[in-house]
Amino acid sequence: MLNYYPNFSRFPCLSPMSQQLMSSGPSLKKLNGNGASHPKTATSKPAIISLVSCIVLIISAYFSVDPRSLNAASDTYALCSRNGDNVYTVDAQNSRTQCIVVQGALIADRGSLQHVTNRWNSFSLYKVIFRRPSLDIRFIRPGAIIVPGLSDSHAHILEYGAAQQLPLEGTKNIQDTVARVRDFILANPDVYNDTSKFIVGGGWDHTIWPTTGWPTSAHLEDDPVIRGRPVVLQSKDCHALWASAKAIEASMPFPEAVDGGIIVRDKTGKPTGVLLDNAQELLKQPELTEGDLQRRFRVAVRDAHAFGLTSIHDAGLDPASLAFFKRQAETGTLPLRIYGMTFFDENKAYWGNTTTPIIGAGNGRLTARSVKIFADGALRTGGAALYEPYADNPSTNGFMRLDSDILFDVIPKFLRDGWQVNVHAIGDRANGIVLDAFEASLKGVNVTASRPRLEHAQIMTDADMKRLGRLGVIASVQPTHAISDMWYAQDRLGPERIKGLYAFRSLIDSGARITLGSDFPVEAMNPLSGFYAAVTRVSPDGKSPHGPDGWFPEQRITRQEALRGMTIDPAYASFTETTLGSLEIGKRADYVVLSQDIMTVPANEILATKVLFTALDGQAIYEDI
């Protein structure tokens, strides 16, 4: 409902003539010079009596209104900028406006301050009867803007919470990382006093360390505080685990080889303490308690709200994570929108026809209607499947994490049974194989109804980029990966192949629809970091291997494309574009107030932008006070 004017169609006693009189103004008739009725406005006495009687009925009807609908009126407010159209609606026309009107959980109106004031503060019988106050108008601070609630199209919620307990991002070498683990133990008496307690951390990045090769269990055992404790440390890209001797011993024996994974061994064949890709699953760890999950979730939600995120696509829910989110939704306590990708285990029976997708549980805040399949590993750890060998390691061209026959078998089955299919693919060979499987599976399928996604789409040939656009497969990309990987990528791929890495402009120009994410905790959660990376292709300090204009600057995207990539495009990629992703009438009132205009400020000032206010369903979930 957009206003509180009576619905006259409910009252048949109102003839067309009396309805016209009601809407024409306060004067019911005009007299000519001799006191006779004017022919155009003459109304008989019985008609007037009938009209008055009908008004009495209307008043009586309104006095019987459900009181809950009156309470809803108090949830109505306008949010405006004092000067200029500082509301970016992200509608089809990319229009801007001065105000939005929020009514309950929905956007009820938008327009200029004069428009919403005239429309919502105008005289009506309803307001007179119920003494409804004037519209509550709230103004944002000068220079601030309003955008739709921000979305991350590819992230890992509970894994982020885990990584924040012992963050290893930015350590300069192995010894620095070991020292951080030791300091964590010493700072937490419950951990220090229990040598059997598993210590979990994440974020180490061997590509920025001066030494070559992998860390080992021995590096952890060299520290007397850590020695003998079970320690499991996840790499920055989440494709490698570095474990202590105690953690490794508890998981033995290991098989000689692992399909789609690597057990790093020394010259004698003994595991050194690092497990890559599918081999990570060999490491036995205690099951997480409900308390563990709650702590991780609270940390992730707290930071998401502060960064303006109202919706997150969780890329790979294992059964325990999915069950946890379902429990949260059942109790009605989900504090953000979660679009879950259910984890696919190729070693288990096909489940797409026996499992019911979750759509809009928990007041519309939990959906799990897609499946996440891993095709290959990661570039950082050398597991991305390439057509040609790695330039810095000619002995390998990476590996597929599952047999390609599985893709051709299960993708059409999932599509047939109503599931969205999202496939992780990094290397050019992996992307090519996945597109082969999509092309075969999409014959006769309504791609708009199924909306398959290529998660990462990092290295692609020109031909495959064009094929991606032709097939209508969504490219789910992470711009902050580009400015992280640009420092080592050419050494790994060589000067020619690297041109197809993170080629966002080429993807869009090929006709592909892209949607932006961060892959947190692999990268920072802040969506404005992704916005900045996408439009500049330089590091936060303004540098790149190709200078201040950006790394392959021709692959930059526009600010408008970047804003859509974190609002309406994620909504489309999660089948919610009719209710989320833009500030349009009838959609959910998810919005963010930013301290400055990211669409116009100099590029080097984008990262100084602060989130002032985050709203979900029209209600504040974060406020910078």
Phi then psi dihedrals of residue 537, to 5 deg: 55, 40
Confidence at 213, pLDDT banded by 50, 70, 90: confident
Q: How confident is the model at residue 129 (pLDDT cuts 50, 70, 90)?
A: low
pLDDT score for 83: 86
Tell me: domain 156-282, CATH 3.10.310.70, correct?
yes
pLDDT attached to residue 358 = 96
Rounded mean pLDDT, 119-148: 80
Q: Are 464 and 438 in contact (CB under 8 A)?
A: no
DSSP string, 18-64: HHHHHHH-S----B-TTSPBPTTT---HHHHHHHHHHHHHHHHHHHT
Assign 286 to helix, strand or coil.
coil
pLDDT at 14: 47
pLDDT in tens, 508-521: 999 999 999 999 99
pLDDT greater than 50 at residue 23: no
- Give the 3-state secondary structure of 552-583: CHHHCCCHHHHHHHCCHHHHHHCCCCCCCCCC
Domain ranges across the chain: 1-64, 72-146+593-625, 156-282
By CB atoms closer than 10 A (0-12, 13-18, 19+), residue 274 is: buried
User: By percentage, how much of the chain surpasses pLDDT 90?
Assistant: 76
Determine what percent of the chain is predicted with pLDDT higher than 70.
Answer: 86
β-strand partners of 235: 204
Quick one: pLDDT band at residue 625, thresholds 50, 70, 90? low
Asked which of 108-117, 228-237, 413-422 is least confident by mean pLDDT, the reply is 228-237
Q: Please give the class, per CATH, of domain 72-146+593-625.
A: mainly beta
Residue 75 and residue 108: Cα distance in Å, rounded? Answer: 11
Angle 462-471/428-441 helices, nearest 10 degrees?
30
- Give the span between the Cα atoms of 591 and 454, in whole angstroms: 28
Of the pLDDT bands very low, low, confident and very high (cuts 50, 70, 90), residue 80 is: very high
Q: What is the model's pLDDT at position 572?
A: 98
Residue 64's pLDDT is 37
Q: How confident is the model at residue 332 (pLDDT cuts 50, 70, 90)?
A: confident
Residue 209 near residue 216, CB atoms below 8 Å:
no
For the chain, the residue count is 625
Band (pLDDT 50/70/90 cuts) for residue 50 is low
d(C-alpha 142, C-alpha 84), whole Å: 10
As beta bridge partners, residue 139 has 80
| Mean pLDDT, residues 238-250 | 92
Predicted confidence (pLDDT) at residue 141 exceeds the cutoff of 70? yes
Taking the C-alpha atoms of residue 421 and residue 321, their distance in angstroms, rounded to an integer, is 19
Closest C-alpha to 512, from 569, 429, 554: 569
Of 26-30, 240-244, 323-327, the range with the lowest mean pLDDT is: 26-30
pLDDT of residue 73: 45
- Asked whether residue 440 carries a pLDDT value surpassing 50, the answer given is yes
pLDDT at site 237:
82
Of the two residues 122 and 123, the one the predictor is more confident about is: 122
Mean pLDDT score of the chain:
88
